[in-house]
Amino acid sequence: MNILCIGAGYVGGPTMAMIALKCPAVKVTVVDINAARIAAWQSDTLPIYEPGLQEVVSACLGRNLFFSTDVDSAIAAADMIFVSVNTPTKTFGQGAGRAADLQYWEKTARQILANSKSDKIVVEKSTLPVRTAAAMQRILDSGGGDVKFEVLSNPEFLAEGTAIKDLQNPDRVLIGGHDTDAGRRAVAALVGVYAHWVPRERILTSNVWSSELSKLAANAFLAQRVSSINALSALCEATEADVSEVSRAIGMDSRIGAKFLNASVGFGGSCFKKDILNLVYLCETYGLTEVAAYWQQVVSMNDYQQDRFVRNMLGRMFNTVSGKRIALFGFAFKKDTGDTRESPAIRIARQLVEERAQVVIHDPKALANAKVDLRDLGDLVQYEPDPYVAAEGAHAIALMTEWDCYATLDYQRIYDRMMKPASLFDGRNRLDHAALYKLGFNVYCIGKTALSHL
Ligand code: UDX
Ligand code: ADP
């Protein structure tokens, strides 16, 4: 069997590497129009940082895992084609700022049609609006030739930073297909691929639309939990309740569960905001105004949390940060990834620069992406590979990402070289607040009473 994946990004790359690892008899090819990305996948410096990924790629590369930019020939040779191209939020025209931009996806559909001389199973891997598979099917069927296409939806649920673990041991694999003979055969073929390593009871099948909607719904539910606890964090700060204690107490209710209840500076990542906006747009399209407003609030709360963080910094620093050096510890949207898409640190860095602070950014893996995100700010932002240098002479440190390395820094050394009073804003509630306070820091956390010497 020949499997092809179009799009060698955060989803396509790791997913195909895992399929190649677990199915040695299957030939897996990954193509992309970005030649630099394809070259990087075949080098010692992969285009994305993901713990454990290099080992998986190295084990299969050249054996049954291949990377290429020759999209047309790869389509012709494939039996099953995963489509994993980017579907960002539209920036223009109708639905701008909310609907998914389907231009890359439609180009791919037409390219598959143009280069197919044998029947294909086409698998949607990108997150797409509900009913996109049906549109894909119509484009593929518009050729009028003898070649038959069967479109499946197989959303990816991996999280960055834990992608290899998630792929190796998924909570579930979801495959949506049509309830026809050809549809059932295609679903069975894809089930057969995952059954190499995923227990059969964790491979769910459904109709195509349920599968598409489940992906949006899963991300909306996860993001909603973060926004819910973040909403309560504001109330905790006002009432002297402690958000960690509240999380613990509610998380032990087995109906609620303990995961995704960490109050933070806000959620980021390429999926949560995009998928919720997509869901909102979909609801509006179907005239479901109240449903749309309900989900929109999850995104609004996330913006509020980030703005509130900066407002708090300003207030605690005597209502001015003009000319003050502020070190941002972390820029990635979460730990163990170099990805900065929708990272709260972007919005916060920009607001601090607007307030004329001297922003210095440290991150163990995301500095290159940070420079791209903030390139229009030029010299107004500094990028520093050493956290001690970043904090030297600073009035404040703000923890943006919960990288483990920040918990083990020598904060006495840092404190000694900072301006006084030295403030520490923990946007992830990950540092030892009592110890930092004892060193002399004024410590401000999310959803907890401030520990201040002032
Ligand atoms: C998410 C989904 O988890 C995954 O299933 C889907 O395939 C893609 O989108 P990802 O965006 O990679 O994955 O990371 P995730 O671990 O979900 O974190 C998203 C954001 O929420 C991060 O910024 C994280 O820091 C934040 N978060 C998460 C919190 O602020 N608090 C929490 O308790 C959990
Ligand atoms: P995701 O996080 O969903 O994986 P990425 O942006 O990381 O998204 O990856 C999507 C990849 O798809 C990019 O590397 C992009 O170059 C690639 N891509 C977009 N359009 C096409 C196309 N028509 N043919 C091949 N690759 C494409």
In short, whether 47's Cβ falls inside 6 Å of ligand 2 is no
pLDDT at res. 127: 79
Ligand nearest to the CA of 16: 2
Q: Which atom of ligand 2 is nearest to the CA of 126?
A: 3
Question: Which residue lies with its CA nearest to atom 27 of ligand 1?
Answer: 267
Ligand 2 binding pocket mutation candidate from 71, 84, 104, 334 (most atoms within 8 A of CB): 104
Contact call for residues 160 and 180 (beta carbons, < 8 A): no
From the CA of 6, how far away is ligand 2's center (Å)? 7
Q: With a 6 A CB cut-off, is 85 part of the ligand 2 pocket?
A: yes
The residue with tokens 């929708």 is 342
In the reported structure, the alpha carbon of residue 156 is separated from the centroid of ligand 1 by a whole-number distance in angstroms of: 14
At residue 83, the pLDDT reads 96
State the ligand closest to the CA atom of 8: 2
What's the 181 CA to ligand 1 centre distance in angstroms?
38
Ligand 2 binding pocket includes 103 (Cβ within 6 Å): no
Nearest residue to 367 (alpha-carbon basis) of 403, 392, 396: 403
Q: Which ligand is nearest to the CA of 85?
A: 2
How far is ligand 1, taken at its centre, from the CA of residue 50, in Å? 15
71 lines ligand 2 (CB under 6 A): yes
Token pair 């569960």 in the structure block, residue? 257
Q: Does 14 contact ligand 2 (Cβ within 6 A)?
A: no
Contact 330, 399 (CB under 8 A): yes
Compute the distance from residue 44 Cα to the ligand 2 centre, in Å.
21
The number of the ligand 1 atom at minimal distance from the alpha carbon of 163 is 12
Atom of ligand 1 nearest to the CA of 11: 7
Which residue is catalytic, options 5, 23, 271, 283?
271
What residues flank ligand 1, with Cβ below 6 Å? 156-160, 219, 222, 226, 260-262, 264, 267-269, 271-272, 333-334
Query: 223 alpha carbon to ligand 1 midpoint, in Å?
Result: 7
Pocket test of ligand 2: the residue of 71, 75, 85, 110 to mutate, having most ligand atoms within 8 Å of its CB, is: 85
CA of 362 to the centre of ligand 2 (A): 28
* 271 included as an active-site residue: yes
User: What distance in Å separates the CA atoms of residue 67 and residue 75, rounded to the nearest whole number?
Assistant: 13
Q: What is the pLDDT of residue 99?
A: 87
Identify residue 224 by its one-letter amino acid code.
Q
**Closest-lying ligand to the alpha carbon of 214?**
1
Of 34, 152, 138, 29, nearest in space to 85 by CA: 34
Between CA 323 and CA 358 the distance in angstroms is 6
CA–centroid distance, 226 to ligand 1, in Å, is 9
Q: Would you say the C-alpha torsion 25, 74, 133, 340 has a positive or negative sign?
A: positive
So what's the pLDDT on residue 387?
Answer: 98
Q: Across the 454 residues of the chain, what is the mean pLDDT of every consecutive 10-residue run?
A: 96 98 98 98 96 97 98 98 92 90 92 96 88 89 91 96 98 97 98 98 96 96 98 97 98 98 98 95 96 98 98 98 98 97 98 98 98 98 98 98 98 98 98 98 98 96
**Which residue blocks in 177-207 are alpha helix, DSSP H?**
181-194
> What spatial distance separates the first Cα and last Cα of the chain, rounded to whole Å?
68
Q: What are phi and psi of 363, to 5 degrees?
A: -160, 135
CB of 208 within 6 A of ligand 2: the answer is no
CB atoms within 10 A of CB 91: 8
- For 167-173, the CB contacts below 8 A with 24+ separation are 167/14, 167/15, 167/18, 168/18, 168/197, 170/198, 170/202, 171/202, 172/202, 172/203, 172/204, 173/198, 173/202, 173/203, 173/204
Q: Whose CA is nearest to atom 31 of ligand 1?
A: 262
In the three-class reduction of DSSP (H, G, I as helix; E, B as strand; rest coil), residue 99 is classed as: coil
Burial class (CB in 10 A: 0-12, 13-18, 19+), 404: exposed
Distance CA 451, CA 454 (A): 9
Is residue 42 within 8 A of residue 63, CB to CB? The reply is: no
pTM > 0.75: yes
